[in-house]
Amino acid sequence: MAAEIVNPRSDSGADEGEQFFDPAFALHRGGKMAIRATVPVKDRDDLSLAYTPGVAKVCSAIAEKPELVHDYTWKSQVVAVVTDGSAVLGLGDIGPEASLPVMEGKAILFKQFGGVDAVPIALDCREVDEIVDTVARLAPSFGGINLEDISAPRCFEVERKLQERLDIPVFHDDQHGTAVVTLAALRNAARLTGRTLGELRAVISGAGAAGVAIAKILVEAGIGDVAVCDRKGIVSLDRADLTDVKRNLAGFTNKAGLSGTLETALDGADVFIGVSGGTVPEAAVATMAKEALIFAMANPTPEIHPDVAHKYAAVVATGRSDYPNQINNVLAFPGIFAGALQVRASRITEGMKLAAAEALAAVVADELSADCVIPSPFDERVAPAVTAAVAAAARADGVAGR
């Protein structure tokens, strides 16, 4: 019989049935993180410095010179990981309490892979302005805001409005983290097959947060053309059913003027990028150009199974950890925030995202193969490379505070 794993922070025996022996439940019991002191409080002298009366001197100094908050508190080292629980992983709208294990997981990834402290915050509100007002009121405690698992199209408005109000970086990882890693992998895949981004025509399946952000960064990076498809087909200006976000998207994508279905878009395309779920028929995959690049990133079931993709593609990537070339956001967000915090950036610019993608691609530039167009999350070169590139780009873009 399997032994129960007990978290010493909890003596609860509330788990029942198979949960009692499930290693996932055993690992999560009591939560996955804790707060610890960085200074000793062992005697009266320690207490008088860490708390009253010593703390009053620091408070008074910050009151007189607010920028000192970065030097004498944790502000420049900590990020808030914020969600409303409306679009959690592949689980959908499961609410704030059920989202908390994911936010804790995100926080420990910040620490493990970027050395950045993070605090999970699950909000019990859904209106855009309620979320914005709540996070803005919490913002003085943090050096950055990482928005997570907020459903589209509200996520676009939440990010935009928060960044307009705050002078610290606001970053929706489901959008930009995915986009940065996708661009890095695509750069290397193109290089491996003797092409440039400008020679590629890409098709993105999914016009939600990730699909929109990927399209934007690919256009910024100089992709030849990119068409985005939603459930009704190609997002194009001849459609009357587009939201404002999709109409804007149609304005800078699909230079070829395609209309119709995903299958229509795939005919002759060099690249497929899936961030939607569902299944793409093999017959449609077979119509893609030679040496196609297939990034089928839905989890746990890719839009195009790797066994099918390998029949037609020179490079295949997924969102899964059990296949080569995993498109994993953890390759981007820890280093991006570490770089932004290092220079006290007021925002994360397009230039910083592009710099992150270039640095990430460069990590394995001398090791390229069909099974290696992107580093492993456990490659220790990743975070330092991305951090340095983002910090430099923040200075170049004039958003660095120091």
Q: Quick one: pLDDT at residue 125? A: 95
Q: How, if at all, do strands 225-230 and 233-234 pair?
A: antiparallel
199 and 327 fall within a common domain: yes
230 and 147 fall within a common domain: no
CATH number of domain containing 162: 3.40.50.10380
CATH number of domain containing 396: 3.40.50.720
**Which DSSP string corresponds to 21-74?**
T-HHHHHHTT-S-----SS---SHHHHHHHSTTHHHHHHHHHHHSGGGHHHHSS
Per-residue model confidence as pLDDT tens digits over 192-246: 999 999 999 999 999 999 999 999 999 999 999 999 999 999 999 999 999 999 9
Q: Quick one: pLDDT at residue 307? A: 96
> Which residues share a beta bridge with 145?
80, 170
Domain count, the chain: 3
219 and 292 fall within a common domain: yes
337 and 354 fall within a common domain: yes
Q: Quick one: pLDDT at residue 13? A: 46
Residue 74 Rama label (left phi>0; alpha psi -120 to 50; beta): alpha
Residue 399 lies in a domain: yes
292: exposed, middle or buried (Cβ count in 10 Å: 0-12, 13-18, 19+)? buried
The C-alpha atoms of residue 200 and residue 255 are separated, in whole angstroms, by 12
The C-alpha atoms of residue 213 and residue 33 are separated, in whole angstroms, by 30
> Which residues share a beta bridge with 203?
227, 272
Q: Which of 113, 135, 168 is at the close of a domain?
A: 168
Task: Cite the active site residues.
Answer: 51, 106
Residue 218 lies in a domain: yes
pTM: 0.91
The C-alpha atoms of residue 348 and residue 340 are separated, in whole angstroms, by 7
Q: Could you tell me which residues are annotated as the binding site?
A: 148-149, 174, 299, 328
Q: Could you tell me which residues are annotated as the binding site for a divalent metal cation?
A: 148-149, 174
**Residue 234 contacts residue 227 (beta carbons within 8 Å):** yes
Q: Which of 118, 141, 168 is at the close of a domain?
A: 168
* Residue 120, both tokens: 């999970």
Q: Quick one: pLDDT at residue 91? A: 85
Per-residue model confidence as pLDDT tens digits over 11-43: 444 455 555 678 888 889 899 989 899 999 999
Q: Quick one: pLDDT at residue 17? A: 54
201 and 257 fall within a common domain: yes
* Residue 37, both tokens: 């002191």
Q: Could you tell me which residues are annotated as the binding site for (S)-malate?
A: 299, 328
Torsion of CA 252, 257, 260, 261, to 10 degrees: -60
pLDDT < 50: residue spans in the chain: 1-14
Residue 45 lies in a domain: no
Domain that holds residue 92: 72-168
Q: Quick one: pLDDT at residue 22? A: 86
